[in-house]
Structure 1
Amino acid sequence: MTRVLLIEDDPAVRRGVTLGQQRRGHRTEAVATGEDGLEALTASPPDIVLLDLMLPGMSGLEVCRRIREISQVPIVILSARSDDVDVVVGLEAGADDYIVKPASDEVIEARMRAVMRRLAPTQPDPPDGGRTVHGDLEIDRAALRVRKHGKNLTLAPSELKLLLFLSAWPDRTFSRQELLEQVWEHSFYGDARLVDACVMRLRAGTEDDPRNPRYIQTVRGFGYRFGPL
Protein backbone atom coordinates (compact mmCIF):
# COMPACT_ATOMS: atom_id res chain seq x y z
CA MET A 1 0.00 0.00 0.00
CA THR A 2 1.45 3.35 -1.07
CA ARG A 3 1.33 6.09 1.54
CA VAL A 4 0.43 9.38 -0.15
CA LEU A 5 0.60 12.83 1.43
CA LEU A 6 -1.64 15.29 -0.43
CA ILE A 7 -1.13 18.99 0.31
CA GLU A 8 -4.00 20.84 -1.38
CA ASP A 9 -6.10 23.75 -0.12
CA ASP A 10 -9.08 23.38 -2.50
CA PRO A 11 -11.62 21.14 -0.68
CA ALA A 12 -13.14 19.80 -3.91
CA VAL A 13 -9.77 18.89 -5.42
CA ARG A 14 -8.64 17.45 -2.10
CA ARG A 15 -11.69 15.19 -1.91
CA GLY A 16 -11.48 14.14 -5.56
CA VAL A 17 -7.79 13.24 -5.50
CA THR A 18 -8.14 11.47 -2.15
CA LEU A 19 -11.03 9.33 -3.41
CA GLY A 20 -9.09 8.50 -6.57
CA GLN A 21 -6.09 7.43 -4.55
CA GLN A 22 -8.16 5.35 -2.16
CA ARG A 23 -9.88 3.54 -5.06
CA ARG A 24 -6.42 2.42 -6.13
CA GLY A 25 -5.62 1.07 -2.71
CA HIS A 26 -3.37 3.89 -1.55
CA ARG A 27 -3.44 5.26 1.97
CA THR A 28 -3.83 9.01 1.61
CA GLU A 29 -3.42 11.73 4.20
CA ALA A 30 -4.76 15.05 2.94
CA VAL A 31 -4.00 18.44 4.50
CA ALA A 32 -4.86 21.99 3.44
CA THR A 33 -1.73 23.99 4.32
CA GLY A 34 2.01 23.74 3.87
CA GLU A 35 2.59 23.93 7.60
CA ASP A 36 0.26 20.97 8.21
CA GLY A 37 1.95 19.12 5.35
CA LEU A 38 5.42 19.48 6.86
CA GLU A 39 4.09 18.37 10.23
CA ALA A 40 2.40 15.32 8.68
CA LEU A 41 5.54 14.41 6.74
CA THR A 42 7.62 14.51 9.90
CA ALA A 43 5.12 12.56 11.97
CA SER A 44 4.49 9.81 9.42
CA PRO A 45 6.84 9.86 6.39
CA PRO A 46 4.89 9.10 3.17
CA ASP A 47 6.07 7.25 0.08
CA ILE A 48 5.21 10.21 -2.17
CA VAL A 49 3.95 13.78 -1.84
CA LEU A 50 1.36 15.41 -4.10
CA LEU A 51 1.80 19.15 -3.66
CA ASP A 52 -0.27 22.13 -4.81
CA LEU A 53 1.63 25.37 -5.49
CA MET A 54 -1.12 27.84 -4.54
CA LEU A 55 -1.40 27.34 -0.81
CA PRO A 56 -2.48 29.79 1.91
CA GLY A 57 0.37 31.00 4.07
CA MET A 58 3.48 29.07 3.14
CA SER A 59 3.63 28.64 -0.64
CA GLY A 60 3.96 25.29 -2.33
CA LEU A 61 7.43 26.24 -3.57
CA GLU A 62 8.60 26.95 -0.04
CA VAL A 63 7.06 23.68 1.15
CA CYS A 64 8.93 21.86 -1.61
CA ARG A 65 12.24 23.45 -0.64
CA ARG A 66 11.73 22.64 3.05
CA ILE A 67 10.85 19.04 2.27
CA ARG A 68 14.06 18.74 0.29
CA GLU A 69 16.04 19.97 3.28
CA ILE A 70 14.90 17.00 5.37
CA SER A 71 13.75 14.29 2.96
CA GLN A 72 14.30 12.80 -0.49
CA VAL A 73 10.70 11.58 -0.76
CA PRO A 74 9.38 11.86 -4.34
CA ILE A 75 7.40 15.07 -4.90
CA VAL A 76 4.84 15.57 -7.67
CA ILE A 77 3.46 19.08 -8.05
CA LEU A 78 -0.25 19.44 -8.87
CA SER A 79 -0.96 22.94 -10.13
CA ALA A 80 -3.33 24.87 -12.34
CA ARG A 81 -0.35 26.92 -13.49
CA SER A 82 1.05 25.70 -16.79
CA ASP A 83 3.42 28.47 -17.84
CA ASP A 84 6.98 27.35 -18.54
CA VAL A 85 8.33 29.63 -15.79
CA ASP A 86 6.05 28.09 -13.15
CA VAL A 87 6.92 24.56 -14.23
CA VAL A 88 10.67 25.19 -14.24
CA VAL A 89 10.62 27.02 -10.89
CA GLY A 90 8.69 24.12 -9.35
CA LEU A 91 11.12 21.56 -10.69
CA GLU A 92 14.14 23.60 -9.61
CA ALA A 93 12.68 23.77 -6.10
CA GLY A 94 13.16 19.99 -5.92
CA ALA A 95 10.03 18.42 -7.40
CA ASP A 96 10.36 15.24 -9.44
CA ASP A 97 7.41 15.85 -11.76
CA TYR A 98 4.74 18.45 -12.52
CA ILE A 99 1.10 17.77 -13.40
CA VAL A 100 -1.19 20.53 -14.65
CA LYS A 101 -4.69 20.49 -13.12
CA PRO A 102 -7.28 19.35 -13.85
CA ALA A 103 -5.85 15.86 -14.35
CA SER A 104 -7.60 12.51 -14.39
CA ASP A 105 -7.01 9.88 -11.74
CA GLU A 106 -5.37 7.73 -14.42
CA VAL A 107 -2.82 10.41 -15.30
CA ILE A 108 -1.98 11.10 -11.66
CA GLU A 109 -1.57 7.38 -10.98
CA ALA A 110 0.64 6.84 -14.04
CA ARG A 111 2.92 9.75 -13.19
CA MET A 112 3.15 8.66 -9.55
CA ARG A 113 4.16 5.16 -10.57
CA ALA A 114 6.78 6.49 -12.97
CA VAL A 115 8.31 8.74 -10.32
CA MET A 116 8.36 5.98 -7.70
CA ARG A 117 10.16 3.41 -9.81
CA ARG A 118 13.57 3.28 -8.23
CA LEU A 119 15.30 0.71 -10.38
CA ALA A 120 17.51 2.09 -13.10
CA PRO A 121 16.63 1.19 -16.71
CA THR A 122 18.20 -1.86 -18.32
CA GLN A 123 21.89 -1.20 -18.65
CA PRO A 124 25.21 -3.11 -18.78
CA ASP A 125 26.59 -4.50 -15.55
CA PRO A 126 29.14 -1.97 -14.31
CA PRO A 127 32.58 -3.08 -13.14
CA ASP A 128 33.79 -3.31 -9.55
CA GLY A 129 30.53 -4.68 -8.15
CA GLY A 130 28.53 -1.63 -9.18
CA ARG A 131 30.99 0.97 -7.88
CA THR A 132 32.63 3.32 -10.36
CA VAL A 133 34.95 6.27 -9.79
CA HIS A 134 35.08 9.27 -12.09
CA GLY A 135 37.66 11.74 -10.84
CA ASP A 136 36.40 12.96 -7.46
CA LEU A 137 32.94 11.46 -8.03
CA GLU A 138 32.17 7.95 -6.77
CA ILE A 139 28.96 6.19 -7.86
CA ASP A 140 27.86 3.08 -5.96
CA ARG A 141 24.92 1.53 -7.83
CA ALA A 142 24.34 -1.30 -5.37
CA ALA A 143 23.99 1.11 -2.44
CA LEU A 144 22.34 3.86 -4.53
CA ARG A 145 24.93 6.23 -3.12
CA VAL A 146 27.01 9.01 -4.67
CA ARG A 147 30.06 10.54 -3.04
CA LYS A 148 32.18 13.55 -3.92
CA HIS A 149 35.55 14.06 -2.28
CA GLY A 150 34.61 11.13 -0.02
CA LYS A 151 31.42 12.78 1.27
CA ASN A 152 27.91 11.47 0.57
CA LEU A 153 25.78 13.64 -1.69
CA THR A 154 22.06 14.13 -1.10
CA LEU A 155 20.23 13.75 -4.41
CA ALA A 156 16.52 13.68 -5.14
CA PRO A 157 15.23 10.41 -6.68
CA SER A 158 15.01 11.83 -10.21
CA GLU A 159 18.51 13.31 -9.95
CA LEU A 160 19.97 10.01 -8.77
CA LYS A 161 18.21 8.05 -11.47
CA LEU A 162 19.39 10.45 -14.18
CA LEU A 163 22.98 10.24 -12.95
CA LEU A 164 22.85 6.43 -12.77
CA PHE A 165 21.51 6.21 -16.29
CA LEU A 166 23.89 8.68 -17.94
CA SER A 167 26.97 7.36 -16.12
CA ALA A 168 26.18 3.81 -17.27
CA TRP A 169 26.74 5.00 -20.85
CA PRO A 170 29.77 7.34 -20.63
CA ASP A 171 30.38 9.57 -23.67
CA ARG A 172 27.08 8.52 -25.26
CA THR A 173 24.75 11.42 -25.99
CA PHE A 174 21.04 11.08 -25.23
CA SER A 175 18.32 13.41 -26.47
CA ARG A 176 15.90 14.92 -24.00
CA GLN A 177 13.16 12.70 -25.42
CA GLU A 178 15.26 9.57 -24.84
CA LEU A 179 15.95 10.65 -21.27
CA LEU A 180 12.26 11.29 -20.66
CA GLU A 181 11.43 7.77 -21.80
CA GLN A 182 14.28 6.06 -19.94
CA VAL A 183 14.40 8.02 -16.67
CA TRP A 184 10.90 9.45 -16.25
CA GLU A 185 9.20 6.70 -18.27
CA HIS A 186 6.78 9.02 -20.01
CA SER A 187 6.80 11.38 -22.97
CA PHE A 188 4.28 14.19 -22.57
CA TYR A 189 4.44 17.35 -24.64
CA GLY A 190 6.62 19.99 -23.07
CA ASP A 191 8.24 17.70 -20.56
CA ALA A 192 11.72 18.42 -21.86
CA ARG A 193 11.61 20.98 -19.04
CA LEU A 194 11.81 18.07 -16.59
CA VAL A 195 15.17 17.03 -18.03
CA ASP A 196 16.67 20.53 -18.14
CA ALA A 197 15.58 21.37 -14.58
CA CYS A 198 16.83 18.04 -13.24
CA VAL A 199 20.20 18.53 -14.97
CA MET A 200 20.51 21.97 -13.35
CA ARG A 201 19.85 20.52 -9.89
CA LEU A 202 22.18 17.58 -10.51
CA ARG A 203 24.98 19.88 -11.59
CA ALA A 204 24.45 22.02 -8.51
CA GLY A 205 24.99 18.94 -6.35
CA THR A 206 27.84 17.25 -8.21
CA GLU A 207 29.87 19.93 -9.95
CA ASP A 208 32.47 22.27 -8.46
CA ASP A 209 31.40 24.87 -11.02
CA PRO A 210 27.88 24.13 -12.33
CA ARG A 211 28.29 26.77 -15.06
CA ASN A 212 31.26 24.83 -16.44
CA PRO A 213 30.21 21.23 -15.82
CA ARG A 214 32.76 18.47 -15.78
CA TYR A 215 30.42 15.48 -15.61
CA ILE A 216 26.97 16.23 -17.07
CA GLN A 217 27.78 17.88 -20.37
CA THR A 218 25.41 19.61 -22.76
CA VAL A 219 25.47 18.63 -26.41
CA ARG A 220 24.04 21.76 -27.93
CA GLY A 221 20.89 21.26 -29.96
CA PHE A 222 20.54 17.61 -28.95
CA GLY A 223 20.77 16.65 -25.28
CA TYR A 224 23.21 15.50 -22.62
CA ARG A 225 26.00 13.03 -21.97
CA PHE A 226 28.14 11.87 -19.07
CA GLY A 227 31.77 12.45 -19.95
CA PRO A 228 34.21 13.33 -17.17
CA LEU A 229 36.76 15.82 -18.44
Structure 2
Amino acid sequence: MTDFAKKILVVDDEAKISDVVKSYLEHAGYKVFTAVNGKEAMEGYNDFNPDLIILDLMLPDISGEEICKRIRKNSSVPIIMLTAKVADDEVITGLDIGADDYVLKPFSPRQLLARVAAVLRRTVREPVEDNRKVIFDNGDLAIDTFVHEIRKAGNIINLTPNEYRILVTMARYPKKAFTREELISMALGDDFEGFDRTVDTHIKNIRQKIEDDPKTPKYLVTVHGVGYRFAGEF
Protein backbone atom coordinates (compact mmCIF):
# COMPACT_ATOMS: atom_id res chain seq x y z
CA MET A 1 0.00 0.00 0.00
CA THR A 2 1.36 3.42 -0.96
CA ASP A 3 1.01 6.73 0.85
CA PHE A 4 -1.29 7.81 -1.99
CA ALA A 5 -3.82 5.00 -1.53
CA LYS A 6 -7.42 6.17 -1.44
CA LYS A 7 -8.82 6.27 2.09
CA ILE A 8 -12.16 4.60 2.72
CA LEU A 9 -14.25 4.75 5.88
CA VAL A 10 -16.45 1.67 6.40
CA VAL A 11 -19.33 2.18 8.84
CA ASP A 12 -21.24 -0.96 9.86
CA ASP A 13 -22.13 -2.41 13.26
CA GLU A 14 -21.96 -6.00 11.98
CA ALA A 15 -18.37 -7.08 12.59
CA LYS A 16 -18.54 -9.93 10.08
CA ILE A 17 -19.58 -7.60 7.25
CA SER A 18 -17.12 -4.89 8.26
CA ASP A 19 -14.21 -7.33 8.45
CA VAL A 20 -14.94 -8.87 5.04
CA VAL A 21 -15.37 -5.50 3.35
CA LYS A 22 -12.18 -4.20 4.97
CA SER A 23 -10.23 -7.24 3.83
CA TYR A 24 -11.40 -6.95 0.20
CA LEU A 25 -10.74 -3.22 0.06
CA GLU A 26 -7.26 -3.52 1.55
CA HIS A 27 -6.42 -6.33 -0.86
CA ALA A 28 -7.43 -3.97 -3.68
CA GLY A 29 -4.98 -1.35 -2.39
CA TYR A 30 -7.22 0.99 -0.40
CA LYS A 31 -6.44 2.32 3.06
CA VAL A 32 -9.41 1.39 5.25
CA PHE A 33 -10.78 2.72 8.53
CA THR A 34 -13.81 1.23 10.27
CA ALA A 35 -16.54 2.45 12.60
CA VAL A 36 -19.32 0.52 14.35
CA ASN A 37 -21.72 3.35 15.15
CA GLY A 38 -22.62 6.92 14.27
CA LYS A 39 -20.35 8.50 16.87
CA GLU A 40 -17.30 6.63 15.57
CA ALA A 41 -18.37 7.39 12.00
CA MET A 42 -18.30 11.15 12.59
CA GLU A 43 -15.01 10.89 14.46
CA GLY A 44 -13.52 8.85 11.61
CA TYR A 45 -14.80 11.32 9.03
CA ASN A 46 -13.26 14.25 10.89
CA ASP A 47 -9.97 12.51 11.76
CA PHE A 48 -9.17 10.61 8.56
CA ASN A 49 -10.65 12.81 5.80
CA PRO A 50 -11.69 9.76 3.73
CA ASP A 51 -11.96 9.79 -0.06
CA LEU A 52 -15.12 7.66 0.13
CA ILE A 53 -17.50 6.44 2.84
CA ILE A 54 -19.38 3.13 2.89
CA LEU A 55 -22.26 3.75 5.27
CA ASP A 56 -24.78 1.29 6.69
CA LEU A 57 -28.24 2.77 7.19
CA MET A 58 -29.10 0.80 10.31
CA LEU A 59 -26.75 1.81 13.11
CA PRO A 60 -27.33 1.48 16.87
CA ASP A 61 -27.13 5.16 17.79
CA ILE A 62 -27.45 7.50 14.79
CA SER A 63 -29.11 6.50 11.53
CA GLY A 64 -27.09 6.40 8.34
CA GLU A 65 -29.43 9.00 6.85
CA GLU A 66 -28.65 11.43 9.67
CA ILE A 67 -24.90 10.87 9.33
CA CYS A 68 -25.18 11.51 5.59
CA LYS A 69 -27.05 14.76 6.24
CA ARG A 70 -24.40 15.94 8.71
CA ILE A 71 -21.53 15.19 6.35
CA ARG A 72 -23.27 16.83 3.41
CA LYS A 73 -23.45 20.13 5.28
CA ASN A 74 -19.77 20.70 4.55
CA SER A 75 -18.45 17.95 2.30
CA SER A 76 -19.04 16.33 -1.08
CA VAL A 77 -17.12 13.14 -0.22
CA PRO A 78 -18.70 10.19 -2.10
CA ILE A 79 -21.04 8.09 0.06
CA ILE A 80 -22.23 4.57 -0.76
CA MET A 81 -25.14 3.42 1.37
CA LEU A 82 -25.49 -0.19 2.53
CA THR A 83 -29.09 -1.11 3.15
CA ALA A 84 -31.55 -3.96 3.39
CA LYS A 85 -34.31 -1.57 2.28
CA VAL A 86 -35.47 -2.19 -1.27
CA ALA A 87 -38.35 0.23 -1.92
CA ASP A 88 -37.66 2.84 -4.63
CA ASP A 89 -38.92 5.64 -2.41
CA GLU A 90 -36.41 4.73 0.29
CA VAL A 91 -33.56 4.72 -2.22
CA ILE A 92 -34.73 8.07 -3.59
CA THR A 93 -34.77 9.47 -0.05
CA GLY A 94 -31.14 8.46 0.38
CA LEU A 95 -30.14 10.06 -2.90
CA ASP A 96 -32.13 13.12 -1.93
CA ILE A 97 -29.97 13.70 1.14
CA GLY A 98 -26.72 13.21 -0.73
CA ALA A 99 -25.85 9.53 -1.16
CA ASP A 100 -23.98 8.76 -4.38
CA ASP A 101 -24.90 5.09 -4.69
CA TYR A 102 -26.72 2.23 -2.98
CA VAL A 103 -25.75 -1.39 -2.41
CA LEU A 104 -28.48 -3.70 -1.20
CA LYS A 105 -27.82 -6.37 1.43
CA PRO A 106 -26.96 -9.15 1.05
CA PHE A 107 -24.22 -8.29 -1.44
CA SER A 108 -21.03 -9.86 -2.72
CA PRO A 109 -17.82 -8.10 -1.65
CA ARG A 110 -16.71 -8.13 -5.28
CA GLN A 111 -19.88 -6.26 -6.24
CA LEU A 112 -19.20 -3.63 -3.58
CA LEU A 113 -15.58 -3.36 -4.71
CA ALA A 114 -16.76 -2.69 -8.26
CA ARG A 115 -19.17 0.00 -7.03
CA VAL A 116 -16.39 1.66 -5.03
CA ALA A 117 -14.11 1.76 -8.07
CA ALA A 118 -16.94 3.10 -10.25
CA VAL A 119 -17.88 5.88 -7.83
CA LEU A 120 -14.24 6.93 -7.40
CA ARG A 121 -13.79 7.02 -11.19
CA ARG A 122 -16.83 9.26 -11.52
CA THR A 123 -15.54 11.65 -8.87
CA VAL A 124 -12.07 12.20 -10.34
CA ARG A 125 -11.59 15.85 -11.25
CA GLU A 126 -11.69 16.97 -14.87
CA PRO A 127 -8.45 16.69 -16.88
CA VAL A 128 -6.16 19.75 -16.85
CA GLU A 129 -6.58 20.51 -20.54
CA ASP A 130 -10.34 20.84 -20.02
CA ASN A 131 -10.11 23.17 -17.03
CA ARG A 132 -11.67 26.59 -17.41
CA LYS A 133 -13.94 29.10 -15.74
CA VAL A 134 -17.27 30.05 -17.25
CA ILE A 135 -19.53 32.84 -16.02
CA PHE A 136 -23.28 32.86 -16.60
CA ASP A 137 -25.92 35.56 -16.23
CA ASN A 138 -23.56 38.43 -15.44
CA GLY A 139 -21.72 36.56 -12.72
CA ASP A 140 -24.73 35.02 -11.00
CA LEU A 141 -23.37 31.51 -11.62
CA ALA A 142 -19.71 30.62 -12.09
CA ILE A 143 -18.32 27.19 -12.95
CA ASP A 144 -14.57 26.78 -12.50
CA THR A 145 -13.34 23.29 -13.39
CA PHE A 146 -9.72 24.26 -12.62
CA VAL A 147 -10.44 24.48 -8.89
CA HIS A 148 -13.51 22.20 -9.09
CA GLU A 149 -15.72 25.00 -7.78
CA ILE A 150 -19.26 26.27 -8.32
CA ARG A 151 -20.25 29.74 -7.15
CA LYS A 152 -23.73 31.26 -6.94
CA ALA A 153 -23.82 35.03 -6.45
CA GLY A 154 -20.22 34.81 -5.27
CA ASN A 155 -20.87 32.09 -2.70
CA ILE A 156 -19.34 28.61 -3.01
CA ILE A 157 -21.99 25.94 -3.61
CA ASN A 158 -21.40 22.50 -2.11
CA LEU A 159 -22.44 19.92 -4.71
CA THR A 160 -22.01 16.18 -4.42
CA PRO A 161 -19.68 14.63 -7.04
CA ASN A 162 -22.59 13.39 -9.13
CA GLU A 163 -24.38 16.73 -8.93
CA TYR A 164 -21.19 18.50 -10.01
CA ARG A 165 -20.68 16.22 -12.98
CA ILE A 166 -24.27 16.62 -14.14
CA LEU A 167 -24.14 20.42 -13.91
CA VAL A 168 -20.76 20.67 -15.65
CA THR A 169 -21.86 18.27 -18.41
CA MET A 170 -25.03 20.25 -19.10
CA ALA A 171 -23.24 23.62 -18.96
CA ARG A 172 -20.76 22.44 -21.58
CA TYR A 173 -23.64 22.01 -24.01
CA PRO A 174 -25.91 25.00 -23.34
CA LYS A 175 -29.37 24.75 -24.88
CA LYS A 176 -28.96 21.03 -25.62
CA ALA A 177 -31.89 18.93 -24.42
CA PHE A 178 -30.49 15.94 -22.51
CA THR A 179 -32.44 12.76 -21.98
CA ARG A 180 -31.98 11.05 -18.63
CA GLU A 181 -30.14 8.25 -20.39
CA GLU A 182 -27.70 10.75 -21.94
CA LEU A 183 -26.97 12.32 -18.57
CA ILE A 184 -26.33 8.92 -17.05
CA SER A 185 -23.95 8.03 -19.89
CA MET A 186 -22.17 11.37 -20.27
CA ALA A 187 -22.06 12.58 -16.66
CA LEU A 188 -22.31 9.52 -14.44
CA GLY A 189 -20.68 6.95 -16.68
CA ASP A 190 -21.88 3.77 -18.34
CA ASP A 191 -20.90 1.79 -15.23
CA PHE A 192 -23.48 3.70 -13.17
CA GLU A 193 -26.09 1.23 -11.94
CA GLY A 194 -28.82 3.61 -10.84
CA PHE A 195 -32.09 4.24 -12.61
CA ASP A 196 -33.78 7.12 -14.44
CA ARG A 197 -35.39 8.62 -11.34
CA THR A 198 -31.91 9.09 -9.90
CA VAL A 199 -31.30 11.83 -12.48
CA ASP A 200 -34.51 13.59 -11.47
CA THR A 201 -33.38 13.56 -7.83
CA HIS A 202 -29.97 14.99 -8.69
CA ILE A 203 -31.54 17.73 -10.83
CA LYS A 204 -33.89 18.64 -7.99
CA ASN A 205 -30.97 18.85 -5.55
CA ILE A 206 -28.92 21.03 -7.91
CA ARG A 207 -31.88 23.37 -8.39
CA GLN A 208 -32.22 23.76 -4.63
CA LYS A 209 -28.61 24.94 -4.51
CA ILE A 210 -28.21 27.17 -7.59
CA GLU A 211 -31.67 28.49 -8.47
CA ASP A 212 -33.23 31.61 -6.96
CA ASP A 213 -36.58 29.84 -7.22
CA PRO A 214 -36.19 26.06 -7.65
CA LYS A 215 -39.83 25.78 -8.70
CA THR A 216 -39.20 28.18 -11.59
CA PRO A 217 -35.62 27.35 -12.61
CA LYS A 218 -33.64 29.49 -15.03
CA TYR A 219 -30.56 27.25 -15.29
CA LEU A 220 -31.73 23.62 -15.29
CA VAL A 221 -35.04 23.69 -17.09
CA THR A 222 -37.34 20.80 -17.89
CA VAL A 223 -37.88 19.86 -21.52
CA HIS A 224 -41.20 18.06 -21.43
CA GLY A 225 -41.15 14.66 -23.05
CA VAL A 226 -37.34 14.71 -23.30
CA GLY A 227 -35.47 15.57 -20.09
CA TYR A 228 -33.52 18.68 -19.13
CA ARG A 229 -31.35 21.44 -20.61
CA PHE A 230 -29.01 24.13 -19.30
CA ALA A 231 -30.42 27.57 -20.06
CA GLY A 232 -27.81 29.89 -18.51
CA GLU A 233 -26.64 32.84 -20.62
CA PHE A 234 -22.96 33.65 -21.15
TM over 0.5: yes
Alpha-carbon distance in 1 for matches of 2:39, 2:66: 10
> Corresponding residue for 2:134?
132
**Runs of 4+ displaced beyond 6 Å:** none
Alpha-carbon distance in 2 for matches of 1:32, 1:49: 13
Question: Which ranges in structure 1 are unaligned for 5 or more consecutive residues?
Answer: none
Percent of aligned pairs with the same residue?
36
Q: Letter of the 1:134 partner, please give it.
A: F
- Note the alpha carbon deviations across 1:159-180, whole angstroms, 9 max, x for none: 1111111100111122212211
Q: Which moved more, 1:174-183 or 1:156-165?
A: 174-183
Q: Does the Cα contact within 8 Å between 2:126 and 2:145 map onto a contact in 1?
A: no
> Corresponding residue for 2:190?
186
Q: Does the Cα contact within 8 Å between 2:75 and 2:158 map onto a contact in 1?
A: no
Post-superposition offset of 1:187: 5.4
Q: Does the Cα contact within 8 Å between 1:120 and 1:161 map onto a contact in 2?
A: no
* 1:9 counterpart = 2:17: no
Question: Which ranges in structure 2 are unaligned for 5 or more consecutive residues?
Answer: none
Check 1:143–1:188 CA distance in 2 against 1; reply closer, same or farther (3 A cut).
Answer: closer
Post-superposition offset of 1:106: 3.0
Check 1:47–1:175 CA distance in 2 against 1; reply closer, same or farther (3 A cut).
Answer: same
> Corresponding residue for 2:125?
119
Post-superposition offset of 1:139: 1.0
Q: Letter of the 2:45 partner, please give it.
A: L
- Note the alpha carbon deviations across 1:108-150, whole angstroms, 9 max, x for none: 22222222232349xx96xxx7111111111112121111112
Q: Does the Cα contact within 8 Å between 1:120 and 1:165 map onto a contact in 2?
A: no
Q: How does 1:65-214 map to 2 (within 5 A)?
A: 65-117=69-121, 118-120=124-126, 130-135=132-137, 136-186=140-190, 191-214=195-218
Post-superposition offset of 1:81: 1.1
TM-score, length of structure 1 as denominator length? 0.90
Kindly report the root-mean-square deviation, in angstroms, between the aligned alpha carbons of the 2 structures: 2.0
Check 1:211–1:17 CA distance in 2 against 1; reply closer, same or farther (3 A cut).
Answer: same
Alpha-carbon distance in 2 for matches of 1:12, 1:181: 35
Alpha-carbon distance in 2 for matches of 1:179, 1:81: 26
* 1:62 counterpart = 2:72: no
Post-superposition offset of 1:29: 1.0
Q: How many residues align?
A: 224
TM-score, length of structure 2 as denominator length? 0.88
Q: Secondary structure at the match of 1:70?
A: coil
Q: Letter of the 1:176 partner, please give it.
A: R
Alpha-carbon distance in 1 for matches of 2:192, 2:14: 26
